[in-house]
Structure formats: structure tokens, C-alpha cells
Structure 1
Amino acid sequence: MTKLRIEDIRVDERIRQDYGDLRERSVELFAGAGGLAMGISNAGFRHVGLYEWDRDACDTIRLNKERNVAQVQNWPIHQCDVRDVDFTQYQGIDLLAGGPPCQPFSLGGKHRGFKDHRNMFPEMIRAVREIQPKVVLIENVKGLLRDTFAKYFEYILLQLSYPEIASKENEDWTDHLSRLERHHTKGHHEGLTYHVVFRLLNAADYGVPQKRERVFIVGFRSDLNIEWSFPEPTHSFDALLYDQWVTGDYWERHRVAKKHRPEMPDKLKKRIERLRGGLGLVQGAPWMTVRDAISDLPDPENEYDNVIPDHRFNPGARIYPGHTGSPLDEPAKTLKAGDHGVPGGENMLVKPDGSVRYFTVRESARLQTFPDEYHFSGSWTESMRQLGNAVPVRLATFIVKDIKKCLSH
């Protein structure tokens, strides 16, 4: 292995000509409908390459480019298989990001993990090796932390830490893991290395109106000598309870008359009483709820206004075991993409009378904190699939801004 030197990093001349100074440039793999990409743009990075193979997701990005949505206008989207891409053309950019397909590790999928042909972590690692970015950001499902995948998760982290120690031809991944472990424990490491950390984050803790737990992995290139940790939550469940049941400000803000307010949940009464005892127990702003996110939209069942795109009613919602919908006055349950058939068993609103209906595409986009000017291409099913796979824009923005702040100092 050749020891990495910053002065040796090659910058592709074509990218230099097209994009000028490469500071704060980013490349994203598995971009989907653009949630993470939009967060990265909001944080001040400029995309020099986005890669996604799904046609509907790419059509969504192309649609918003055509509509001149500000963050999307200059995104260079490539609809292709990342296995066919030579990433050395991007060598030396600042941020490499992506959410490798989550179905192999999803709690709602088939749980095949590393045996699944959709497992794209090897391609993510190859991109790190070829690009040598300053920072790597990976998002994935909570299921990646299951005991079943613990050994493979260790393998992912070690590959990110030492991307130049590539798998040999016909080498089993467990043998490769053993080589990485031996290298890791020897204590002195030259060449391309990263300081890697990970954390399970709940999007609701960062102002997203959805209880969505996802694993984020961040690696800073070791030669940068940057110390970084995940930013602390800005919102909390206790603050929401305080807002609803101690001050009542939540109901006043939404103009909900006392006779129309729900009963205080019995299971939360003791917790609420503790909160009454002292405001000091409350940390951060209140969790955002479904009502916070969609209350200004007309009811799609009887007040649909054609001026609002993606807000059409979709019939057929019903409750069944494991799929009970999201209450109006809590953050939504995790929006899901669906492994087969029509996605959306949990993508339902529970109305005050106890009945349910599917969230519209526009409502789901709000729950994922996409701006209203962002439109989605494809059928209801395909749009919901894109949204169920997306990274909440607000969460992505918050994390990447913190990363950028460290890079800028």
C-alpha cells in the first residue's frame, strides 16, 4: 500500500473545468428520490455526481430539475448501476454519501443481509477506496444492528476504516474480516484510513414529524485529525407532553377546543405528573406531530384542491395486526416502502373518530420534511415507495451542517 499524501490526490480535470474549486463538493450513491441529497445541498455542499438505478426515483429528480427547484437545479443525476462506475474521476472530493439498499437488513424485509444480491455495501466501500473523500456518510435501517448481522456490521466498519485492504479474489468475507481485524489490532496504520463512528438516531429527536430510527455511519479521513461526534437531539417527547398536557399550548396553537381534545393517555399520567413538577425536566423543543405537519392541508377525502400537487385521496386503508396507523397528535410511525405489493400498511392516519385513511403523497412528503415545491414522479405506489426509502431532509441537513462545520475549521 502507498501512504496517502494530500498533495498526491488527483483531481479529475473534467470535474475541475465543470465545477471549479472542489472544496465542499459531494458525491452520492443510491440517491433515491433525493432526501439525503437535498439535506446535503441545504448544508452547503455542491453535488458533482448523484447515482441511482431506479427509473422512477431518477424521474422524480429530473422532474424537479425541470421545475427549477432551487436545491436540485444543478444536480448531475446518473441513472445506472454503480457497479459499472469508475469512481476515480471524483478522487479527492470532500463528502461521499449514500444509503445502500436497506432491504437486505430491513426488519420489514427478508433479512438476507450479506447474502442478498441487493447488498451494495461492497460498492460503497469501493467508492471510498477510489474517491478517498474527506468524509463518508452512510445511512441505513435499524435492522443493520440486529444480532443476526453483528459480525457483518463489524465487517462494514472495518472496511470503512481501512478501505485499501480490499477483498482478494474468491476470498470469503469472513476471511477478509479476519485480515481486517489483524490489521486493526496491530496499532500502527499507514495509507488511507478513516476514523469511523456510528449512532442510531430517531428523526423525531431532530424536528422530523416521524418516529424513524436509522443508523448513521460517519468516517473522517484520519490525516485530517478532526474530532467529531454526532450532534445532540434538539427535540424531545417530554417537551411534547409538557406542551400538550401541562401548558396546553399545543391545543391552543392548533385551535382545538377543549371538548374536542383527546383524553390524557393513562399510561403517560405518571410521566406527565413528574413534568408538572418542574420545567427543568424538559429538554429541547417538542416533538413535531402529524397535526403539526399536515393541519393546513385540506382533507383529501372531501376538500381536495387541484392546486395542491400529490394530495389525492387513495382509498382502501384498513387496520390489521401490526398495521394500525399513526395518531394525529404524535409523530408519525415510520413510513415504509413495502417489500412487495402495495406499500403503506403503516402509512395511514388515524383520525380522531378512530377511522383510518392512507396518507397522501404530499402528506407523506411533509412527514419526510420535503418542501412543498418538490414533486414526485410515478404512481401513488411508486411515489410512496420512494418516500418510504428516503432520508428525512431536515435530519440530513442537521447532520451534514455539523460535518461541514468541522471541515471548514
Structure 2
Amino acid sequence: AGQDETVRDEAIRMIKSGRALQARELRGLKRDIALAKAAVEGTLDDRRRRAFRNAAARKARDKALAAADAWLDSLHALTEEVCTIAQLEEEDSSVHQIGRVEAVAPRAAELLKDLPDLVDPEFITASREGFNRGWSGTYSALQAIAKEKVYYKEHYGDGEPWQATYTFNSSLQWQLAWAFGYDDDSGTSSAVKRMREAGDTPLDVPVGVYGHKAPTVLEICAGAGGQAIGLEAAGFKHVGLVEVDKDAAATLRHNGKHWPVIEADLRDADLSQFVGIDLLAGGVPCQPFSQAGKRKGAADERDLFPKAMKLIRELKPKAVMLENVTGALQASNAMHRLRILARMAALGYDAEWRILSGPDFGLPQKRRRAILVGFRRGIMHRFSWPEPLAKKAPTVGEALYDLMAANGWAHVDEWKERANGYAPTIIGGSQKKGGIDLAQPKSRETWRELGVDPGHYAKAAPDRDAPRDHMPKLTLEMMARLQGFRDDWQLQGSNLQKFRQIANAFPPAMAQAVGLSILRALTGYKVDLEKEQKRLHRKSLNLKAVPNHVDPYPSDWDGEELAAG
């Protein structure tokens, strides 16, 4: 309640999203919002001065801050004088300010002499930022001024011999002024970029959303690519997709030709090359927690959560996203769930579970998934669970209308009105399941109320002459659309294997929603989910199929269109 209004509103929004916001996270939230304000308003970057004072305090606590402040004040006075020299040189370059340069040289030498008593050398050398910036750049500028090496020789002229002139090195003023928060490029975009490079993350700064380097993601148990589609649409770059099933791996390769697919058993795969990735994501096998199975939980040999925890320890990702069925949050699995949270805490991660629902993110299916999201310490305060879309999700009838009408079924409009609701969760992804069947007994009636026969599947849409009371089965294409796959996503393998891939999938729309929230926590960029959902349905350009560009207009073209052909 005592926070700034902006911080308070953000904290309340996070709690509304389902976050269990920790009181200590408010400090980080307050800092990141202040950084954003400083970047937009062009406020001087005081972190550099504070960093120097902190380094001095670490080296010698007794009177260290007073000595550091005195040194910084002397540096500030020297910087003002150097700026004056630069200005005078700019106004009349034919009259060099030799006397002024000679006067400031001893002051620079004195600052250099006192510096080792204030901070450790490692502080100076480790703070390099960009070209000749950072405390190391300030140190280099002091060295040049102390030696009176402030001019450089330039040659000009077209003939021989060239004429020579001496020019004042104006970059010295920027190297000194850097210590006090000044930069030669002080625009919002540049300020934000420098903050990010320094490890600071201002929140929601209005600069280009995709102006940052795409965060990397390693995806495990990648399946048919539902999660991969969503994370890529959110702005992540895949460095690897691990999948043991040969048909699912073939689906990944066929549709995502740019994806580095690793066909291997996760328990045997060597993934050490991915140390330091931004995000470790995956839909670890959900059967151990499924209410439809034998509910062996952690005793199930298909439980890959222990392997996922081992990967977190070895790869040290900045963020983790693991998806599972809602049974993972049932009381019967409480101990296993809490062990996972405790293990992540021991590894240095803040983590939370949350159940998300498909219709909240545009899916015409009541699919609910349990999501575990975690971050290395110091990041979680920027994470909010994704908010439901304002636009209502399409019904089964609206989503499948064109596919159901493909063969001209005369009564398709009546079927659409009957299918005026959301589909039950499509299940059946287990390799132990022997046939294609949409539902368990308790959801069969819901399917029938929607005008869908849940038993087996259809190879095609109803014929034109199908009767009014016909209850069609769904084709595999219809099932894939209910899961949110693009129509051009081509599944590989037998029809049974295609069905298993569909039923196992984490819907792209849900993956994108969580991915965008993780992106914001990692980079500070907040993205409008309503607009970005369009990226899910963009088809990739096959540039290899496009012939090399040939200019259709000759060099003497007079501006009129060429004749056809």
C-alpha cells in the first residue's frame, strides 16, 4: 500500500493473474519500473556512480564512501574542464588549448594515483561497456590526459604531399562523462539497450518489441511441435528440440525445417552444449499424473521430471517452463509436486504452478493444463501469468464449419448451431492406447451434445446427402484444428501415430501466451497477446523455392509499366 502508484498497480495486476507475489519481489519491481522511467525521461544513469561507491565500500569500509565521493567530485570537476576544452577546440580548431591541457594533466595523474587505494583493479577492468566505455574507458581517458596525449594527427588533401593537422580527441569527454550517466547516444532505445546489456531490465519501455536478440530455448519432449510453434511465435529461438518418438521427430523436421531436431531418449541425450540457455521448456510425459491412467505418479517409469530437474541443475537456464496435465496439481500428487518446487528452490529458482484453460486463449476446447514456470533468483518479480483474451474463443461449430462443409453437407448450418460449445479435452496420446478414440466415458455425452460421434475417426467430412440427424466423427484435420495447429501443419506417421501426436500436444496458443509472459520477465518487453496471436497462423516463406531476383525493368526504363510478358 505504501508503494508508488505504478508499482502498486503492477503488483496488483500480478496478483490478479494468479501470482503468489512475495513481499521481497516488490524491491525488484520498484527498481525495474524506475529504470524504465529513467530510460524514457533521459534521467542520468546514477548506477555507475553507485557502483563505484559500492566497490570502494567492499575494499575498505572505514571512511571509504567519503573518500570515494571526494574522488568522484574531483573527477566531475576534471570532466567539466575537459568538456570546456572540447568546446573551445570545436569553436576554433586553429587555436589549440595547450595551456588548459597542461593544467589538467596533473589533476588526472592525481586521480590515477589515488584510484588503487579506493577500488580493486578488477572492478575497473571488468566494467567494459561497448567501444571504450565503462570504468575501463574512464581509466584510459585519465591516462591519456595525464600524459597530455589528447590530440591525434590527421591528413587531408587530394594531392601529394598531404596536409597534416592535429585534432582534439573529443571522445575523451564522453569516456569521462560516462561515469556520471552521460552517453553520446542518449535516446530511449539506446538507453534501454545499454541497460539490458548491463543486466538491468526496465519494464514495458515503449521501444521496438523485437529489437532485442531473440532468447534461446531448448525444448524437451517436443512432440509434434505445438509448444514449439507457440514459443517461436512468442519470439524465442530454438537451439534444440529433443523428441524420442520417430514419427513426432519426423513431423518436427518436415514442418520446421529450420529447427535443430534431436531424435533421442531424453534420459540418454547429452545436452551439455546448451549450458546457459535462456529457457528450458517441455511437456514432460503426463501419463504419471493423468486421472485417466493408473495414477502411479512418481513411481511411473515414464516420469521424466527427475531428468528435467537434473537438466536444470546442469544447464542453468534463466527460465523453466514445464507443462503437464491438471492431475499434477491433484491432492494425491501433492508430495511429488512439492518435492519439485523444493528441488527447484534448492537449485536457486523461484517457481510456481498454475492451471490454464484453453478457451481463455482462443482454443475451442476445454483443455486445461498445469504449467510450472520458474526463474533464476532476481527475475520472478517481472513475471505475471498470461491474462485471458478479451475476445471469446470460437465454438466447435465455428472452428470446424468449413472443414465439416468441405463435401457440401446440406445440413452443416444446423450442425454448426448444435455444436455451439467447447469441445472436451482430446485425450489418447499414450503409446499404450491401441486405437483412435476421442474420449473417456464421462466426456462422451458432451461430445454427443455437440453433435460429434467420439468413437474412432472419419477419413472425410460428411457427404452432401448425409441426413439432418447425422452425428459425424471428426477427421484428424479437425482434431488438429481443435488443438490449434495450422491447417498446413503436416503430421507424419500412421493415422494412429498422428492421433497420438495431436492428443499429446500443448496447444500453440497456450504455449505462446505463457511464452510471451516469460519473454517479458527475461527482457522487459510487454507484448499485446491479442495482436501477437496472428503470428501463430503465419506460414513461413519457402525462400529456396523463390527464383533469384531479376530486375524486370531495363536501365533506361522511362517509368511506364512494361507490357505483360
Normalised TM-score (structure 1): 0.65
| 1:193-223 C-alpha deviation (Å, 9 max, x unpaired) | 1111111111111111110011011001104
Q: Secondary structure at the match of 2:238?
A: strand
Amino acid at match of 1:60: T
**Aligned CA distance change for structure 1 residues 225 and 210 (closer, same or farther; 3 Å):** closer
Equivalence for 2:500: 385
Counterpart-to-counterpart distance in 1, 2:269 and 2:428? 27
Structure 1 partner of 2:400: 294
Whole-Å Cα distance in 2 between the matches of residues 152 and 360 of structure 1? 38
Once residues 225 and 330 of structure 1 are traced to their aligned partners in structure 2, the CA distance between those partners, rounded to angstroms, is 36
Q: Counterpart amino acid of 2:496?
A: T
Partner of 1:162: 346
What corresponds to 1:129 in structure 2? Answer: 313
Q: Which residue of 1 aligns with 2:372?
A: 217
Count of residue correspondences: 283
Matching of residues 6-405 of structure 1 within 5 Å: 24-64=215-255, 72-163=256-347, 193-224=348-379, 226-234=381-389, 284-299=390-405, 302=407, 328-339=419-430, 340-346=433-439, 350-351=450-451, 355-405=470-520
Q: Any unmatched runs of 5+ in structure 2?
A: 1-125, 127-211, 410-417, 453-467, 525-565
How far residue 56 of structure 1 moved from its aligned partner, in angstroms, is 1.3
Opposite residue 292 of structure 2, the aligned amino acid is: G
1:308-328 deviations in Å (ceiling 9; x for gaps): xxxxxxxxxxxxxxxxxxx61
Kindly indicate whether the alpha-carbon contact (under 8 Å) linking 1:51 and 1:82 is maintained by their aligned counterparts in 2.
yes
Does the 8 A contact of 2:383 with 2:520 survive in 1?
Answer: no
Shift of the alpha carbon at 1:285? 2.3
Decide which structure has the larger Cα Rg and report it: 2
Identity %: 38
Contact map agreement 1:99 1:138 (CA 8 A) in 2: yes
- Provide the secondary structure at the position in 2 that maps to 1:297: helix
Structure 1 contact 337–386 (Cα < 8 Å) conserved: no
Aligned-residue offset at 1:299: 4.1
The range that moved more, 103-112 or 350-359, is: 350-359
Q: Which whole-Å CA distance do the structure 2 matches of 1:79 and 1:152 have between them?
A: 28
Counterpart residue number, 2:46? none
Query: 1-side partners of 2:352 and 2:386: how far apart?
Result: 12
* Letter in structure 1 aligned against 2:479: S
Note if contact 1:31-1:51 (Cα within 8 Å) is conserved in structure 2: yes
Contact 1:139–1:216 (Cα < 8 Å) also in 2? yes
Give the drift of 1:81: 0.7
Instruction: Tell me how far apart the structure 2 counterparts of residues 46 and 337 of structure 1 sit (CA, whole Å).
Output: 30
How far apart in 1 are the matches of 2:235 and 2:258?
13
Query: Which amino acid in the other structure matches residue 116 of structure 1?
Result: D
Q: 2:384–2:517: 8 Å Cα contact kept in structure 1?
A: no
Give me the whole-angstrom Cα distance separating, in 1, the residues matched to 2:286 and 2:481: 22
TM-aligned CA distance change 1:361 to 1:225, over 3 Å: closer
**Would the alpha carbon gap of residues 95 and 338 (structure 1) be closer, same or farther in structure 2, given more than 3 Å must change?**
closer
Contact 1:22 1:93 in 2 (8 A): no
1:357-408, CA deviations, whole angstroms, 9 ceiling, x for partnerless residues?
3321111111111111111112222111111100111111111012112211
Rounded to whole Å, the distance in 1 between the matches of 2:274 and 2:482 is: 33
- Counterpart secondary structure, 1:220: strand
Contact 2:426 2:438 in 1 (8 A): no
Q: 1:286 to 1:111 in 2, by over 3 A?
A: same
- Cα distance per residue 1:122-152 (max 9 Å; x no partner): 1111111111111100100011112211111
Check the 8 A contact 1:200/1:215 in 2, yes or no: yes
Instruction: Please report how far the alpha carbon of residue 161 of structure 1 lies from its aligned counterpart in structure 2 after TM superposition.
Output: 2.3
Query: Which of 1 and 2 has higher RCO (CA within 8 Å, sep 6+)?
Result: 1
Code of the residue aligned with 1:332 in structure 2: it is: A
Deviating above 3 A after TM superposition, structure 1's stretches of 4 or more consecutive aligned residues are 223-226, 347-350, 352-357
Q: Secondary structure at the match of 1:288?
A: coil
Letter in 2 for 1:351: G
Conserved? CA contact 2:485–2:508, under 8 Å: yes
Q: Which runs of 5+ in 1 are unaligned?
A: 1-6, 8-20, 65-71, 164-192, 235-283, 305-326
- Whole-Å separation in 2 of the counterparts to 1:96 and 1:408: 16
What amino acid is the match of 2:275? Q
Normalized per residue, the structure richer in helix is 2
